[in-house]
Amino acid sequence: MTGPEEVRQNNAKKFISGVVEGFYGRPWSAEQRRLLFIWMQKSGLNTYMYAPKDDYKHRAYWRDLYSVEEAENLSFLITASKEKGVTFVYAISPGLDISFSSTKDVQALKRKLEQVATFGCEAFAVLFDDIDPELSEADRSAFQSFGSAQVSVSNEVFEHLNQPKLFLFCPTEYCASRAVPTVATSEYLTTIGSKLLPGIDIMWTGPRVVSKRLSITSLEEIASVLKRPCVIWDNIHANDYDPRRIFLGPYDGRSPEIIPYINGVMTNPNTEFEANFVAINTLGQWCKSNPDGVKKDIINNDRMSPIASDIKLETESDFSSDEDFPSRIDLRYQPKQALKVAMGEWLCEIHCHREPPRQPFPRIIPTFLPTGVPTGPPGVPVCHPPGPPVILTPSPPPSSPPGVPSCAPGNPSIPPGVAPFPTTDPPTPQDIPSAAQPCMDPSDLDASNVPPGVPYMPPSPPAGLPLPDVIKTCITTSSTTQTISSSGVTPLPLLQSSAQPPEPIPTFLQPPSLPVSSLSEMPPLDSYSTSTPECGAEPMDVAMSCSSDITDGAQGSPSVASMPNVDVSVSDSDPLPKLEKQNSSDSLMQVEGSEMDRREDNDLKAEFDNVFTEDDALLLSELFYMPFEHGSQGLFLLQRLHWLRNNAAAIIKKGNKEANTFEATEWHHLAQEFSDKVEVTVELLRKLVNGPNKSFMCDMYSYLWDLVSILKICRAYVQWLAKGLSSHPLAQQTYSCVTWFSKGYRDAFVSGDQEPWVFRGGLQSELQRLLPIDSAHDLFYIKPPDYIVTKSFSLRPYKPEDEDALYLVCLKTCDDGMDGTDVFPDYPRLMGDKLLGKMLTLSPDLGFVIEDDVGVCGYVVMSLDAKELAKKGQMAWIPAMCEKYPLPEKKDSTSPAEEVIQSFHCDQPMVPEEVYTLYPSVLRLDILPTRVEDPAIPRRLLACALSALKSCGSKGAHCVLSVGDKFMVDFYSKLGFFPVSAVDKPGDDVYLGRPV
């Protein structure tokens, strides 16, 4: 059945629109699902599919029936969905280990769905995604093909359930890129289409797992093969394949013109529930934009109406293809406008008081796979290509003590397969690890939540995934020892070692994917405390007092509108609410300027400062936009940093000549704009942490924390560039991987021709690759803290007025990382003179400090040339110290202070030649652990230092420690330093080096 008759039948059937909870990762909680039903009702969506991949009774242990408690909670969810007019679809994924020819397995499947039907569920789905497409030996004797086996079981179950009105089927070849060999010639899809009963809807993700766009032509093709229009399983907002990305942009890339050619759309959104409001709201707007399913501008066979043709002629240069044209000219749905419409209600959600959901403790449950299927521990992905929910997340490495950066054991800067340098023999140049190599050896990572004896294996993109041609051509020969073959397929190790960073550590708020029972905890109706907004806020409304329809006693949002003695007025010219004290008899009785008045004013100001405005919400959305597109604010940061980096020569003095005044002024002006934009993003993180919606904050914190940390490094680097000390033109530097501005890279990114996990890391990675040390992944890919860091900090270059603060930090950390105040009571500046003074005096322009709200709490000081520093120090610094600290009289025993003073009067040690040759720069880094809440700060600080050294032409840096400083040796080892010279005597210094 094709053509007009098929379209008429499609129009007569209810269009399926909604959400599928089908991702890998921690399932949503019961409270979140109930809130989801409210969001869906308000957005006009009508279907929810329960299919969390890591709910073990959905997939791993699909045969197990639900317990009494789980049955009660599932019944509660089904009832709650019906109350909101949402169809609850229960999905099951038996494909991991089902024997299609086994009567016992088929009966178990029927029994499981029968049980769910007794809970009131009237819609079901059977999913066969992400499984090995091979039959067992027993099944091969009973079925002609894999597709025939799936069809047989699905038809039998469908009829056993009395052919429910809604029954969904997800095939193993669920997108065009997985169809073998093509959609039109796939034997599997042809079998599914011809033999699956007509009442069963088939799910389809489009051209790819994550499809940038859906065209009428491709939908007509799959409909003809499947003998029915498909239901789109849409992964455009899915983020479980990349722990550093989350998507807050509007539903895009699908023209409403495709609605007559499909039976529905269900979005599989972000793993983080609170991040999905925009995706759900804009999908609802999209579905309403063509409710009758009538084609208007586009005629069959993709021929255009005269009006559409005229529009195309006027805007022809703006569109890349005919297939993309309808979504861009359709005035009924515009993504940017839909995002603005969603902002008002999203702000209301952001300002509601909502606590994070209670989560059941993950249980380690093995996943049993049929023979021949690669297996691994729970949470570790297997090698088969990803399905609609795409890829599992890896397990985090063990945490480190406060103030010490988290990293893999051993030396993270040494590439896999390169052994650390022994302390007995100096390294040769051939032994030096390249900083352009991946920083983490997966075999060194210890996943604490993986069963003993099972090695940790971080996930990779699907095996055999071809690279875009543009990435192949942009990879420089210096970035890898492998040669790109002319066959057109680049080996995966090449992707991981050059164009792509190593697998990032997952965020702490998105824990490793261990199968759990997401139905084991469900609060009773009267204990539900989440405030759920039902108000219809206008886009310009900052916050409204929202009432919940879940309980009569639920409290609404304590927004600005509900503050006592506050008048809220909003205008187009002033989007912020105006706070004005109201005159009342109570206020007239108060004493003017009293402490109570001041306290109330401060409280009101603090709460007002934490209010998310529409601009804040829009900025957040554009920083984490869509898989194939960065928002305008993100692009501004990328473009400005790239311009500042490439035009830094405009402010460099050439000999005795001053830099061009006009060019230098322009550079400094644009640098200030970049710094201001970074500060706005920092303020956005502060508002997020201090906002009332703690559930939203927990879901978004790790992503914004990561981005803000990278931006702080970029800002500090730009501030250092402003000094005009960069001696190497950064525009001509060879980088180990492509950047956003490499030839063809941006086109490959936005084209949608590749799956988005090819371009890992999102905006954070794009910014990182613009820094000189882009390949120092251990300084950027950092596990977020296991707690919310409330204290703000800033990174900036060292200033001469910081000297006293640095001396104080040095004193409090000089005793092998501990406070040395009591060790040197009479000489508070002695250790500062010993460890820092020479570098601060002779090379003050290469230092950076970390500063909190109290003051400086950490620093890194360095010198570009250690030998030059030693020579100048011998001529100027050491004589000054000998005069400042006279040689003490000889005694039988000497104090620590006297030993340090004696070192000034002795011959100064020279930098060993084997150290200087490979690591010519020297540095010292210290932090105050009691003041540093964020464990990533030392790595961020070192990233600033190495960026400055690289810009000055350094190829490596070393630090000098006493062999007895066990804590500091371990501290620097965690920062990627390793021993580079032999220790001849117990009292000798130890040299630790790291490539730049």
Round to whole Å and give the CA distance between 714 and 705: 14
Round to whole Å and give the CA distance between 122 and 164: 6
Residue 432 has pLDDT above 90, yes or no: no
β-strands 201-204, 856-863 pairing:
unpaired
Q: What is the token pair recorded at 305? A: 């109406």
Which of 976, 972, 750 lies closest to 989 in space, CA to CA?
A: 972
**One-letter amino acid identity for 159?**
E
pLDDT of residue 48: 98
Round to whole Å and give the CA distance between 579 and 560: 9
- Which are the catalytic amino acids? 130
Which of 150, 233, 151, 164 lies closest to 197 in space, CA to CA?
A: 151
Q: How many CB atoms lie within 10 A of CB 371?
A: 9
pLDDT of residue 642: 94
Round to whole Å and give the CA distance between 277 and 248: 8
Please answer whether residues 890 and 982 qualify as being in contact, where contact means their C-beta atoms are separated by less than 8 angstroms. Answer: no
Rg of the chain over Cα atoms, rounded to whole angstroms, equals 31
pLDDT of residue 595: 54
206 sits in the region (left: phi over 0; alpha: psi -120 to 50; else beta) called left
Which CA distances in Å does 534 have to 33, 288, 550, 691? Answer: 16, 20, 10, 20
Which of 909, 914, 907, 917 lies closest to 985 in space, CA to CA?
A: 909
Q: Which of 226-240, 794-808, 981-995 has the lowest average pLDDT? A: 981-995
More confident residue, 937 or 658: 937
Round to whole Å and give the CA distance between 255 and 160: 38
Among 238-247, 568-577, 592-601, top mean pLDDT goes to 238-247
Residue 28 has pLDDT above 60, yes or no: yes
- Mean pLDDT within 154-182: 96
pLDDT of residue 985: 53
Q: What is the pLDDT of residues 660-675, one digit of tens each?
A: 688 889 999 999 999 9
More confident residue, 735 or 68: 68
Packing angle of the helix pair 614-623, 335-350 (nearest 10 deg): 120
Q: Cα 173 to chain center, whole Å?
A: 28
pLDDT of residue 601: 54
Q: In 227-304, which ranges are continuous DSSP H helix?
A: 277-288
pLDDT of residue 482: 31
Round to whole Å and give the CA distance between 382 and 396: 17
Which of 228, 257, 89 lies closest to 164 in space, CA to CA?
A: 89
Q: What is the token pair recorded at 40? A: 């869906």
Q: What is the token pair recorded at 592? A: 């003017």
Mean pLDDT of the chain: 75
- In this prediction, what percent of the chain has a pLDDT beyond 70? 67
> Phi, psi (5° rounding) for residue 399?
-80, 160
Residue 566 has pLDDT above 60, yes or no: no
pLDDT of residue 725: 85
- In this prediction, what percent of the chain has a pLDDT beyond 90? 53
Helix (H) / strand (E) element for 47: namely strand 47-50
Round to whole Å and give the CA distance between 156 and 159: 5
Q: What is the token pair recorded at 506? A: 């997952």
pLDDT of residue 394: 33
Residue 505 has pLDDT above 70, yes or no: no
- Mean pLDDT within 92-120: 95
- Mean pLDDT within 275-295: 89
Q: What is the pLDDT of residues 816-842, one digit of tens each?
A: 888 888 888 888 999 999 999 999 999
- Mean pLDDT within 244-268: 95
Round to whole Å and give the CA distance between 987 and 319: 71
pLDDT band at 731 (very low <50, low <70, confident <90, very high): very low
pLDDT of residue 893: 78
**Coil, strand or helix at 858:** strand
Locate the DSSP E strands across 903-945: 921-927
Q: What is the token pair recorded at 473? A: 């051509």
- Classify residue 702 by burial, with Cβ atoms within 10 Å: 0-12, 13-18, 19+: buried
Residue 941 has pLDDT above 80, yes or no: yes
Please answer whether residues 458 and 503 qualify as being in contact, where contact means their C-beta atoms are separated by less than 8 angstroms. Answer: yes
Round to whole Å and give the CA distance between 536 and 534: 7
More confident residue, 710 or 442: 710
Round to whole Å and give the CA distance between 790 and 678: 18
Q: What is the token pair recorded at 794? A: 């800033």
Q: In 182-305, which ranges are continuous DSSP H helix?
A: 187-195, 216-226, 277-288
Q: How many CB atoms lie within 10 A of CB 988?
A: 13
pLDDT of residue 299: 41
Round to whole Å and give the CA distance between 727 and 725: 6
Please answer whether residues 840 and 806 qualify as being in contact, where contact means their C-beta atoms are separated by less than 8 angstroms. Answer: yes
Q: What is the token pair recorded at 361? A: 């403790």
Name 20's bridge partners: 49
Q: Which of 510-524, 777-791, 886-900 has the lowest average pLDDT? A: 510-524
Q: What is the pLDDT of residues 603-661, one digit of tens each?
A: 545 555 678 899 999 999 999 999 999 999 999 999 999 999 999 888 876 655 665 68
Q: What is the pLDDT of residues 570-589, one digit of tens each?
A: 333 333 333 333 333 333 23
Put simply, whether the predicted model's pTM sits higher than 0.75 gets the answer: yes
pLDDT of residue 362: 40
Residue 903 has pLDDT above 50, yes or no: yes
β-strands 956-962, 921-927 pairing:
parallel
Residue 474 has pLDDT above 80, yes or no: no
- Classify residue 862 by burial, with Cβ atoms within 10 Å: 0-12, 13-18, 19+: buried
Round to whole Å and give the CA distance between 780 and 477: 24
pLDDT of residue 655: 53
Residue 426 has pLDDT above 90, yes or no: no
Residue 314 has pLDDT above 80, yes or no: no
pLDDT of residue 895: 86
Q: Which residues contact 197 (CB under 8 A, 6 or more apart)?
A: 155, 158, 159, 163
The angle subtended at Cα 983 by Cα 969 and Cα 912, nearest 5°, is: 95
SS3 content of the chain, % helix, strand, coil (to 5): 40, 10, 50
